[in-house]
Amino acid sequence: MAAATPARLTVLSGPSGVGKGTVVAEVRRRHPDVWVSVSATTRRPRPGEVDGVHYHFVDAAEFDRLIATDGLLEWAEYAGNRYGTPVAPVRARLATGRPALLEIELQGARQVRARAPEAQLVFLAPPSWAELKSRLAGRGSEPAAVQERRLAIAQAELDSSGEFDVVVVNDDVARAADELVGLLTAPSPGLVPGE
């Protein structure tokens, strides 16, 4: 009988507009047993968002306290709000011997790499640059200058894919979700089954 695979922290990141949230929602739908970390944020809840389900909504003082007490695995500021991964639930999940998934931005993925070098970093890539441009422009709710800035950031984020352990192309959401779940449960490189 083979020994259980050690619990693995997997980080999903990629450029804005690549569909990280869509792929994670598909993972949850197809594989409800997969645990996905819930981020803390200082932004206000949007209609329909539930505290503790979509985000842990906190004020600036609470976010500052989490930073000061090393309560966040990673954090970043984006569009005037702060987002971060509370470390306690991640540690608790990994302590059960089961994998944990984080869906975070590139800056956060780099922080996780520095703090938890054993984590598996997965880069979600678009099928093409043209497809990503179309997705970002398709949002249509932003002024042209904001869209141009998003495209420049997305290009820089695409250029960072080499920092990741694995690249998953989001050309089919169901396939990308299944590939991600396979990575969550795969043995860590360098580990010999049964040790």
Q: Is residue 127 part of a domain?
A: yes
Mean pLDDT per 10-residue run, the chain (195 residues)?
A: 63 92 94 93 95 95 97 92 96 92 94 94 94 76 79 89 96 96 77 38
- The pLDDT, as a whole number, for residue 193 is 38
- The pLDDT, as a whole number, for residue 145 is 83
Distance, in Å, from the CA atom of 142 to the CA atom of 84, rounded to the nearest integer, reads 25
Distance, in Å, from the CA atom of 135 to the CA atom of 140, rounded to the nearest integer, reads 9
Whether 18 contacts 135, CB under 8 Å: yes
Whether 149 contacts 16, CB under 8 Å: no
Of 103, 96, 128, whose CA–CA distance to 37 is shortest?
103
User: What percent of the chain has a predicted confidence (pLDDT) above 90?
Assistant: 67
Token pair for residue 44?
């206000």
pTM, entire model:
0.86
- The pLDDT, as a whole number, for residue 147 is 79
Q: Is residue 3 part of a domain?
A: no
Of 12, 10, 19, 24, whose CA–CA distance to 127 is shortest?
19
- The pLDDT, as a whole number, for residue 174 is 96
- The pLDDT, as a whole number, for residue 189 is 57
Domain membership of residue 136 as a residue range:
9-185
Q: Is residue 73 part of a domain?
A: yes
CATH number, domain of 118, equals 3.40.50.300
Q: Is residue 190 part of a domain?
A: no
Token pair for residue 61?
């003082």
- The pLDDT, as a whole number, for residue 16 is 83
- The pLDDT, as a whole number, for residue 138 is 67
Length of the chain: 195
φ and ψ of 99, to 5 deg = -70, 160
Distance, in Å, from the CA atom of 48 to the CA atom of 87, rounded to the nearest integer, reads 26
Token pair for residue 105?
């931005």
Number of domains the chain contains: 1
Q: Is residue 195 part of a domain?
A: no
- The pLDDT, as a whole number, for residue 149 is 84
Q: Is residue 194 part of a domain?
A: no
- The pLDDT, as a whole number, for residue 140 is 61
Distance, in Å, from the CA atom of 153 to the CA atom of 25, rounded to the nearest integer, reads 24
